[in-house]
Amino acid sequence: MEQRSPEELLAFLKPDVEETQEERREQSTDGGRIGGPPIPPPDPALREFWDPRTDIFHPRSTEHVRLLLDAARNQGKRVRVLGSQHSVRDVIFGASQDFTLLLDGELRKIELLESRTADGFNLVRVGAGCYLGPNPADPSQRATDTLTRWLDARGFAFPITGGITHQTIAGFIQTGSDGGSLMHSFSDAVEELELVDGKGEVRTFRRGTNEFAAAGVSMGLFGVITHVTLKVGTSYWVEGEEGNQELEDSLLAPGLGGDALVEALRTHEYLRLNWYPQKNVQRVTLWKGKQVAKRVGPRDPYEPPLRDEFSNLMAALVLRIINGSLGLDPDSDLTHQFIGALMKPFLPLGAPQTFRDAWHLTLPMDDTVRTDDILRVLFTELWFPLDKADEVLGILRELLADQRVAGNLAVELYAGKPSPFWLSPAHEGGSLRVDPYRWAYDEGVPEDLFEQYWKRLLDVGGVRLHWGKYLPLFGTQYGQTVFDLQYLRKVYPRMDDWLEMRLEMDPDGLFLNPYWESLLLSVASTQETDPVVPKEPPADNGLLVRWAKAATVACLTLFDKLYGVAVRE
């Protein structure tokens, strides 16, 4: 068999990758529409910011938003707003005839306000459609105009980011997203929210009010957020390290219990762990960091393991091969040895990588990984009270002994600082967060994997879930727990207050879609009607079929490069 160099393999696969990227771009702008070309809006005034290619409205000001909401109300339609589409699809979209908005123009601009907070922070007003950082899936906003780049260029920063910064600021806040820390939360930086409610009124909610606490995490159901005012501090660098450890040498070692993990989460300013539970892998990647003064010592950039296109392609091929191997014989020792041989080279042991660099280049450690296409990852995210850590780790160890649940990716564990928002999963308490990952192109449907976690973990007292990720099926029992509105009332003490305020903000249900309507407006009726399931559109497996044909060559090439083994027929 002829050996291929990395360059030849990349050239071999690249046309298929580019084809899939184009298909994903088309999917991401179709607004969920089915059928023929979109019909122009009857009101000529609306066509000014309507895109006929996608049937998506691009309001460029608060007044444009008001005009669209009035039109939708008069026509008996509903309204949903797009961000970066990182949430589950049914969380975002409405029915095909409804209005879909993507904020643009002034609703992406950033301005420095003259006033300051009492504790010396600067105030910045941001259009709600502004991306936190460069979004490779939508390059319509210049990288220098995204929020993290704009702030750092002027010597400012907010206290934390998520693992990626592709999201819009409104989408990030409204789904309760956050970075990994018990010392910092993105909600710490939010001072004011401006939105247009379901009655067409422009409302401004300030920190410390019930309206602010309710609207912060509201999934687009209170209105269209148009501006966010942030308090920002001085720019800083993050110093830290990332390395791989054997499971028995890590914070997740059997016998340690949950105390060691919780203590580490409390001690380190930023911390996350990726646990690879495959039988012949059993390694943990630890990433930790802390704030340091800007330019203290030489710059030492963070370099993610998957830092270029070739490494992303090779990782995707390995994921595909492992998924196929588990489908053939998940209990075979030979299968587990094969999986270990494929995965361990991506998780080398040894001295950890150190880094010291700007906050916006280190905190979003996954920004350069191809998470929007090649390595697109789906997950459910569960937030537990910190005092449940020991119980949670025990359940995870039992679950992940099943190699079909262990799969081909990691389970991420990190923290969440208490939040003032009523429906934040971290409201009024620090949290341990657990994210089981699934590659979007694996065979089957994501719920088949995630329900294994829900059946065991929903019975842990006080567990909440990320609103934008996969949620259990409404009205369905998992273990001893039924996931319904009664459950939400139990784990969110202000749920009824939130529902009452939502009704006041949107009395006609202008912002509801079938997904949220079935969850929030039904208690017993979930037993009588077919619930809405948040399913992703089927991933394009055409590319993966073509990759599978090259898998043998790719694996042999990988082994040759990693182990120096001559590959011959």
> What is d(CA 163, CA 180) in angstroms, rounded to the nearest whole number?
8
Q: Cα angle at 442 between 437 and 444, to 5 degrees?
A: 105
Contact partners, residue 458, CB within 8 Å, separation at least 6: 472, 478, 479, 481, 483
**Whether the Cβ atoms of residue 249 and residue 374 lie closer than 8 Å to each other:** no
Residue tagged 């910045």 (tokens): 124
**Whether the Cβ atoms of residue 470 and residue 534 lie closer than 8 Å to each other:** yes
Residue-level pLDDT at 114: 84
Helix (H) or strand (E) holding 489: helix 485-491
Residue-level pLDDT at 200: 96
Residue-level pLDDT at 227: 98
Residue-level pLDDT at 521: 72
Dump pLDDT digits (tens) for 181-195: 999 999 999 999 999
Query: How many C-beta neighbours within 10 Å does residue 39 have?
Result: 9
**Per-residue three-class SS string for 75-119:** CCCCEEEECCCCCCHHHHCCCCCCEEEECCHHHHCEEEEEEECCC
**Whether the Cβ atoms of residue 495 and residue 437 lie closer than 8 Å to each other:** no
Residue-level pLDDT at 565: 37
**Dihedrals φ, ψ of 258, to 5°?**
-90, -15
Q: Cα angle at 292 between 291 and 294, to 5 degrees?
A: 120
The three-state secondary structure class of 393 is: helix
Residue-level pLDDT at 246: 98
Residue-level pLDDT at 525: 36
The three-state secondary structure class of 311 is: helix
DSSP-derived secondary structure for 417-461: --BSSTTSTTBTS-EEEEEEEEETTSSS-HHHHHHHHHHHHTTST
Q: Give me the residues of the chain with pLDDT under 50, please.
A: 1-3, 24, 27-35, 523-538, 541-553, 556-557, 559-569
**Whether the Cβ atoms of residue 402 and residue 465 lie closer than 8 Å to each other:** no
Residue-level pLDDT at 477: 97
Residue-level pLDDT at 535: 46
Which of 285, 300, 301, 215 has its CA nearest to residue 251?
285
Helix (H) or strand (E) holding 169: helix 169-174
Residue-level pLDDT at 9: 53
